C-alpha cells in the first residue's frame, strides 16, 4: 500500500521540520536570556544597549524583544531601568550555558579549532536533544584525560 507508506513518511518528516521551525523562536529567546545572564554576571547589571551591541541588533529591537520575554515570564523590567531575569530566566540561562559548554568542549575534543568550535556550538546548541547531549558527554568522559 504505497499511499499509506507515503503518508506515514510525510508525517514523520513534517514532524521533524515542524520541530526545527518551532525551535527557532525558542532559540532567540534563549540567546537573549543567556546573554543577559552573562552581562549581569560580568558587570552586575544589564542594560538594553549592552544586549543590542553584543547581539548586533538595534536598541529598538531589543526593547521589543524584551517585551516578549517579559510576557514569557523570563525577564522583568521597569521603564528606563536595567534588565533583570526571573527565576525561570536564570534557570533557562543556566541550562543553556551547560548545553553550550558541552557542545563546545565536544567539538574541541573532536579536533575542531577554537574559533570554529565557538561559532558552530552557538548554532548547534539549540538543535541538540538531551539524548545527543548525553552521548557527547559520554564521549568527553572517554576522551578527556
Residues that bind a second copy (CB under 8 A): 7, 9-10, 13-20, 23-24, 31, 35, 50, 53-57, 107, 110-113, 116-120, 122-124, 126-129, 131-132, 135-136, 138-139
> What, of DNA, a second copy, none, does residue 25 touch, CB below 5 to 8 Å by kind?
DNA
Three-state secondary structure call for residue 22: helix
Measured CA to CA, the distance from residue 63 to residue 47 in angstroms comes to 11
Determine contact, residues 74/89, Cβ cutoff 8 Å: yes
Partner in contact with 98, chosen from a second copy, DNA, none, beta carbon below 5 to 8 Å by kind: none
Contacts of 42 (CB under 8 A, 6+ apart): none
Residues between 35 and 54 that touch DNA (CB under 7 A):
47-49
The residues facing 85 across adjacent strands are: 75
Q: Would you count residue 101 as binding DNA (CB under 7 A)?
A: no
| 56 touches DNA by CB under 7 A | yes
For the bound state, the minimum distance from the C-beta of residue 132 to DNA, rounded and expressed in Å, comes to 23
Please tell me the chain's helix, strand, coil percentages from 3-state DSSP, rounded to the nearest 5: 80, 5, 15
Contact of 82 with 50, CB cutoff 8 Å: no
Of these, 10, 57, 91, 110, which contacts DNA (CB under 7 A)? Answer: 57
105 is written with which cell numbers?
A: 568542549
Contact between 61 and DNA (CB under 7 A)? yes
Q: How far apart are CA 143 and CA 76, in angstroms?
A: 42
Q: Which stretches of the chain bind DNA, using CB under 7 A?
A: 21, 24-25, 28-29, 47-49, 56-61, 63-66, 68, 77, 79-82
Amino acid at each position: 500500500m504505497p499511499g499509506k507508506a507515503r503518508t506515514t513518511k510525510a508525517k514523520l518528516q513534517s514532524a521533524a521540520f515542524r520541530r526545527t521551525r518551532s525551535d527557532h523562536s525558542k532559540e532567540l529567546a534563549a540567546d537573549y536570556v543567556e546573554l543577559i545572564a552573562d552581562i549581569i554576571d560580568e558587570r552586575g547589571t544589564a542594560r538594553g544597549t549592552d544586549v543590542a551591541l553584543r547581539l548586533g541588533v538595534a536598541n529598538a529591537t531589543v526593547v521589543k524583544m524584551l517585551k516578549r520575554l517579559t510576557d514569557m515570564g523570563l525577564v522583568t523590567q521597569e521603564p528606563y531601568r536595567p534588565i533583570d531575569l526571573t527565576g525561570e530566566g536564570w534557570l533557562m540561562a543556566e541550562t543553556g550555558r551547560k548545553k553550550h559548554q558541552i557542545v563546545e568542549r565536544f567539538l574541541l575534543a573532536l579536533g575542531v579549532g577554537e574559533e570554529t568550535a565557538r561559532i558552530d556550538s552557538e548554532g548547534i546548541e539549540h538543535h541538540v536533544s538531551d539524548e545527543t547531549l548525553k552521548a557527547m558527554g559520554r564521549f568527553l568522559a572517554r576522551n578527556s584525560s
